[in-house]
Amino acid sequence: MQTILNFIDGRFAPAASGRTIDNPEPATGEVYSTLPDSDAQDVAAAVAAAKKALPAWAATPAEERSRILLRVADLIDANLERLARAESIDSGKPLALARSVDIPRAAANFRFFATAILHTRSDLHQTGANVLNYTLRQPVGVCALISPWNLPLYLFTWKVAPALACGCTGVGKPSEVTPMTAFLLSELLAEAGLPPGALNIVHGRGATAGAPLIEHPDVRAISFTGGTSTGAAIARAAAPKFKKLSLELGGKNPNIVFADADLDAAADAALRAAFTNQGQICLCGSRVFVERPIYERFVDRLVEGARSLRVGDPLDAATQQGAVVSREHHAKIAAAVEQARRDGARVRCGGGPPSAPVSPRCADGSFYLPTVLTDAPPTCAAMQEEIFGPVVTVTPFDTEAEALALANGVRYGLASMVWTRGLDRAHRVAARLEAGIVWINCWMVRDLRTPFGGMKDSGVGREGGDEALRFFTEPRNVCVQLREHTP
Ligand code: NDP
């Protein structure tokens, strides 16, 4: 049994109350570690440590902050295997995915922001002959950094790295469902020489650890990634206190395939976009719209692909589909598919757990087969609400206008995909999709300099590149009146 601890002021500690939460391995259902069940008392200690560390860390030259963060990146690389295994055990995702995507990206997040801060510049506005305005960008202060369970270290570091790079200090609260790699990261931060208190990590539940963190009067900015309803609760709590807010929330992303597309490439990408990480990525393409002449062929391809994905023990190198993150989440996915059936959808493959255990070790694990649904009415829950599991709907369309109406006909607006060989159409549709990200003839191609985030109920604000640097700093206009030279 492993014991996860809080990281406060450079020291490891259990929750002040002594209470713990059991942490099961999704692939087996067995509790393999415990984490602190932190509450307002632990949060207060963590925020106090961050506040104390702020002046010195903010005043540390960018070159020195950069050196420390680059060391963190190197340490993540050096611990790739250990972190990937920990992520796989904690979340149920295939080890191969954690090794090739999650952990390398965590290192890349640190490296990217460690070097970005060496290349910034600020604005200067000359006003007439005798007035100069320049903009100072200073760290926003103590930040709350709250992340979800689907890409645990990847998304946690996507917040931690820019906050620290900009000279902010903070308190991180990883999801209680997947706390392990954030705990391991705290060891690496200490090893890299991050000053005590610059980043504190408090483990625990959203209601008892997350809520006091966002409400704490000394927290000036909140960077949150998670579900839309949690985001709404956070926005309600933060608004009267005028905290800076970045909310990256849910998605119900459309994937539009026109008949002139490269069908092989589109079908392969649709399969990956639907089922990577068991469909538990906010950017997954969970609604596929296919132009009618190629619809049946496309459905056949997708079903064949879904059936061929190897569902198995996440630690097995050949596994392509691991466990979903918890028993509770498994039940939610199953209920959503049952509702879709009642709403008239046809289950073309999957639609339940595997008929036999994927391995003896995983007999009590939370596995769900890759599921393709057709004939779902556009207004039904399966087409409107996030399932966040290995479930995709496929729907035919006849015109570009209809595809756009279907794609935009949800409350979310995070990511979208367009498959076509028509240049005009690609750009026309990209400009009309209500989404923060449009991928044309690709999926999940990421450049960390680009703005990342969603519109509508998918969130407020953007992460990545300059957007993140702007979020974690406060602009200050300095206006200088120059006096005439009198010899
Ligand atoms: P949740 O909203 O349930 O939780 C996200 C984080 O917030 C967790 O750390 C959670 O803690 C914490 N939390 C919960 N309630 C509160 C509260 N009242 N105050 C402060 N913190 C709180 O999301 P999930 O973890 O279930 O993640 C899945 C969701 O995340 C999906 O909707 C997905 O689309 C979205 N997501 C969005 C992304 C984007 O970039 N737009 C990327 C990835 C995921 P705990 O878990 O301990 O309860």
Domains contained in the chain, CATH given: 2-249+458-477 (3.40.605.10), 254-440 (3.40.309.10)
Strand-pair partners of 221: 143, 244
Q: Whose CA is nearest to atom 42 of ligand 1?
A: 282
Residue 463 alpha carbon, nearest atom of ligand 1: 40
- pLDDT confidence band for 484 (50 / 70 / 90): confident
**pLDDT exceeds cutoff 90 at 291:** yes
| Residue 18, amino acid | G
**How many CB atoms are closer than 10 A to CB 144?**
31
Q: Could you please report the per-residue DSSP string of 297-350?
A: HHHHHHHHHHHHS-B--TTSTT-SB---S-HHHHHHHHHHHHHHHHTT-EEEE-
pLDDT at 487: 82
pLDDT at 319: 98
pLDDT, tens digit, 9 for 90 and up, residues 330-376: 999 999 999 999 999 999 999 999 999 999 999 999 999 999 999 99
Distance 157 CA to ligand 1 centre (A): 15
Cβ atoms of 416 and 435 within 8 Å: the answer is yes
pLDDT at 166: 98
CB within 8 Å of 377: residues ≥ 6 apart: 343, 344, 383
Q: Is 248 a residue of the active site?
A: yes
- pLDDT confidence band for 121 (50 / 70 / 90): very high
Q: Is 349 a residue of the active site?
A: no
Cβ atoms of 271 and 302 within 8 Å: the answer is yes
pLDDT at 378: 97
Distance 309 CA to ligand 1 centre (A): 28
Residue 414 alpha carbon, nearest atom of ligand 1: 41
Backbone angles phi, psi at 139, to 5 degrees: -55, 140
> Closest Cα partner for 9 from 198, 150, 168?
198
pLDDT, tens digit, 9 for 90 and up, residues 169-182: 999 999 999 999 99
CA 101 to chain centre: 13
Q: Could you please report the per-residue DSSP string of 83-121?
A: HHHHHHHHH---HHHIIIIIHHHHHHHHHHHHHHTTS--
pLDDT, tens digit, 9 for 90 and up, residues 64-84: 999 999 999 999 999 999 999
**pLDDT exceeds cutoff 90 at 486:** no
Q: Whose CA is nearest to atom 38 of ligand 1?
A: 282
Report the pocket of ligand 1 as residue ranges, CB < 6 Å. Answer: 146-150, 155, 173, 175-177, 205-207, 210-211, 214, 225-227, 230, 233-234, 248-251, 282, 386, 388, 414, 454, 458-459
Cβ atoms of 191 and 40 within 8 Å: the answer is no
Q: Whose CA is nearest to atom 14 of ligand 1?
A: 206
Q: Whose CA is nearest to atom 12 of ligand 1?
A: 206
pTM for this one?
0.97
pLDDT, tens digit, 9 for 90 and up, residues 311-328: 999 999 999 999 999 999
- pLDDT confidence band for 485 (50 / 70 / 90): confident
| Residue 206, amino acid | G
Residue 454 alpha carbon, nearest atom of ligand 1: 41
| Residue 195, amino acid | P
Any idea which residue has 């920990």 for tokens? 86
Q: Whose CA is nearest to atom 40 of ligand 1?
A: 248
Q: Whose CA is nearest to atom 4 of ligand 1?
A: 226
pLDDT at 365: 98
In this prediction, what percent of the chain has a pLDDT beyond 70?
100
Three-state SS at 338: helix
- pLDDT confidence band for 47 (50 / 70 / 90): very high
Distance 134 CA to ligand 1 centre (A): 38
Q: Could you please report the per-residue DSSP string of 128-141?
A: TTTEEEEEEEEE--
- pLDDT confidence band for 459 (50 / 70 / 90): very high
Distance 16 CA to ligand 1 centre (A): 24
**pLDDT exceeds cutoff 90 at 329:** yes
- pLDDT confidence band for 426 (50 / 70 / 90): very high
Distance 210 CA to ligand 1 centre (A): 10
Catalytic residue among 87, 176, 248, 467: 248
Q: Measured between alpha carbons, how far is 283 from 406 in angstroms, rounded to an integer? A: 18
- pLDDT confidence band for 28 (50 / 70 / 90): very high
Mutate to test the pocket of ligand 1, among 105, 143, 146 (most ligand atoms within 8 A of CB): 146
